[in-house]
Amino acid sequence: MPQKLTGLKSFLKDHKVKKALCVCRTPRLYEQNGITFVPWQDYIEHLYEQSLFE
């Protein structure tokens, strides 16, 4: 997991959330340590469908 996620990891320790997303330049969707990594193109495509939030 990239070092740049320290803020997100700290947020997750302090707050209970249904799903943690990191929209980034990853080539594929994957999950690691409770964080879902989403390619930015997929996120934009599905943003208004809200299918990522179910």
pLDDT per residue as tens digits for the range 30-53: 999 889 999 999 998 888 777 656
Tell whether the model's pLDDT for residue 29 goes beyond 60. Answer: yes
Mean pLDDT (the chain) is: 86
Record the pTM: 0.75
The pLDDT assigned to 46 comes to 84
The pLDDT assigned to 48 comes to 74
The pLDDT assigned to 9 comes to 87
- CA dist 36 and 19 (Å) reads 8
* Single-letter amino acid code for the residue at 48: Y
